[in-house]
Structure 1
Amino acid sequence: MSTKETEQTIALAAIFQAAELVAGLAKSGQIENRHLEPLVSSILMVNASKTVDIYGGEWDYQSNLSLGKNTVHKALSKDRASVNPETLRYALSLIHLESKLAKSPDMLKSIGSKISVIEQKKDMYDSVLHENMIAAISGMYQDTLSTLSFRIQVRGESRFLQQPHTANQVRAALMAGVRAAMLWRQLGGKRWHLIFKRKALINALK
């Protein structure tokens, strides 16, 4: 097992954790903040020296991405049927959306500028999950990624998705998922790896 494969599984776990949170918000309007916080923090982590640092550091990333790791393991193994089909759809859609973003340097530059502005505001609040922080990240998603030709269609209970805070959480999770998908690609991850490198990725997850 290579170090690169281990790093790839970290990014993959983050993608699937974002996808699982979007599915949960769409279905019930509720998620555990402990699963969302490391993803939101990762959006603002632009100069990490190591992949693990993006999600809390060597000793924290495994717990911070536990939901995503478990979901990926099921998706790549014989337990795939137990994974919410919407979660799988969102995960693949995040990877596809990031591939569109990679071809838009102007949008990448715009996102970088917006992240800098949001990061400067972080110290004003007691948590990256403060509603103003989530709203700012949601606005960034709306102004950028939601304008691309490919859009992720979130399906669920309209009574939850129409609530402003829930909608903002969904977009923040999607933004974090795209950030993870970018990391996955930068580490050499390919969509076909999810089919033909399943055994290697499962071993790396362990």
Structure 2
Amino acid sequence: MSFHTLESRSIAFAAMCQAAYLVDKIASKGICPDAVAFNASLRSIVRTDSASPIDIFGGHESLKLGYQTVVTQLDNASGNRNMQVTKYVAGLMALERKLSANPGNLNLLGERINQVNRQLAHFEIDDSNVLSNLDSIYRDLISTLGPRIQVNGNPAYLQQEHTQHKIRALLLAGVRAAVLWRQIGGKRRQLLLSRKAMVHQTKQNLLRT
């Protein structure tokens, strides 16, 4: 079954936006505003053999925050676009292109994700040990590809190690979503040429949450 559909791409793009939104809030407020969305984003990193795009994220309810963010970002009628989220999503797409052009890093990424899966036999996805591991994967295999994503926020929070781990884990989840987006036919120009269709589909997805 092919998942090269607008519905599937709207799911992958919402996952990118969800990760970016959570990065912005954690960096600026120091706390995660939605634990369900946070955990779903992180779990998507280790779900590498799911039957469909929506299964990667555990269902539409887990992407509700992402869908809401897409509508805010793309629906001109809202007028509430968050430019930090826009910047982070663009950065995630740029890193995905670098990663996909580097087979060596892709292979290493798969091996490191398998290690995380083994950890999950003993820890929850949001445990500090797992977050530390996800953080190191992002630092070792993704951020070195460049260009680095500069996260803006409150220095008092950004200097905390646990906050840094959460942010890098979410950026890794965002790159994972960007990889999925590309795999099912997502292209940046679609966000300009098919914006209304994307917003309409995302609103339909929201009805399923």
| Smaller-chain TM-score bracket | over 0.9
Following superposition, the deviation at residue 81 of structure 1 comes to 3.2
TM-score (norm 2): 0.92
Distance in 1, Cα, partners of 2:35 & 2:98: 29
Which residue identity is paired with 1:78?
N
Following superposition, the deviation at residue 83 of structure 1 comes to 2.3
2:201 corresponds to: 204
Corresponding residue SS for 1:144 = helix
2:111 corresponds to: 113
Where structure 2 has 5 or more consecutive residues not aligned to the other structure, the ranges are: 205-209
1:183 corresponds to: 180
2:31 corresponds to: 30
- Deviating runs (4+, > 2 A) in structure 1? none
CA gap 1:79/1:86 in 2 versus in 1, 3 angstroms? farther
Following superposition, the deviation at residue 37 of structure 1 comes to 0.2
Distance in 2, Cα, partners of 1:153 & 1:204: 31
1:166 corresponds to: 163
> 5 Å matches for 1:19-168?
19-31=20-32, 32-56=34-58, 61-79=59-77, 81-125=79-123, 127-168=124-165
Task: List per-residue Cα deviations over 1:22-74 (Å, max 9, x = no partner).
Answer: 10011011112211100110000011111111011xxxx22111111011012
Does the CA-based 8 Å contact 2:4-2:185 persist in structure 1? Answer: no
Distance in 1, Cα, partners of 2:78 & 2:170: 22
Does the CA-based 8 Å contact 2:4-2:184 persist in structure 1? Answer: no
Percent identity over paired residues: 35
Root-mean-square deviation over aligned CA pairs? 1.3
TM-score (norm 1): 0.94
Distance in 1, Cα, partners of 2:71 & 2:183: 21
Where structure 1 has 5 or more consecutive residues not aligned to the other structure, the ranges are: none
2:207 corresponds to: none
2:189 corresponds to: 192
Distance in 2, Cα, partners of 1:144 & 1:79: 39
Following superposition, the deviation at residue 3 of structure 1 comes to 6.9
Distance in 2, Cα, partners of 1:105 & 1:3: 23
Which residue identity is paired with 2:54?
V
Count of residue pairs brought into register by the alignment: 200
Distance in 1, Cα, partners of 2:14 & 2:47: 17
Distance in 2, Cα, partners of 1:80 & 1:135: 37
Which residue identity is paired with 2:98?
K
Which residue identity is paired with 1:176?
A
1:14 corresponds to: 15
Distance in 2, Cα, partners of 1:96 & 1:81: 26
Corresponding residue SS for 1:123 = coil
Distance in 1, Cα, partners of 2:79 & 2:126: 32
Distance in 1, Cα, partners of 2:78 & 2:167: 24
Corresponding residue SS for 1:177 = helix
Distance in 2, Cα, partners of 1:13 & 1:122: 25
